[in-house]
A and B are shown apart, each in its own frame.
Chain A
Amino acid sequence: MAVNKGGEPQAAIVFRDACVKRGSTIIWRHGSFSIPQGSVTAIVGTNGAGKTTMMMTELGLQPLEEGSIEVLGRPAGQSNADIGYVPQSYTSDIDSNLTAEESILLGLTGSRFGFHPISQKERARTRQAMEFMNLTDKAHYRLSELSGGLRQRVAIAQALVCDPKLLMLDEPLANLDLANQRDTVHVLARLKRELGMTVQVVAHDLNMLLPILSGAVYLLDGHPHYAAMNEVLDAGLLTHLYGTSVQVVTTPQGDMFVTPSTDETQGAQIDRHDPTYLAELHHHQHRQDQTDPELGQRTGTNKGGQA
Chain B
Amino acid sequence: MKKHWHWRHLEETLARGLMLLSFAVVAVSLALILGTVMARGLPSLDWAMLTQSPKGGYYLGKEGGILNAILGSLYLAGGGTLLAFLFSLPLSLYLQTYVRRSSWGHFVRLGLDVLWGIPSIVYGAFGFMVMLAIGLRASLLGGVLVLALLEMPIMTRAMDEVLQMMPEELEQASLALGATRFETALRVVSRQMLPGILTAVLLAFGRGIGDAASVLFTAGYTDRLPTSLLRPAASLPLAVFFQLGTPYPEVQQRAYAAALILTVLVLIISLGSRWLAGRLGQFVVK
A is bound by B: no
Interface residues of A (CB under 8 A from B): none
Interface residues of B (CB under 8 A from A): none
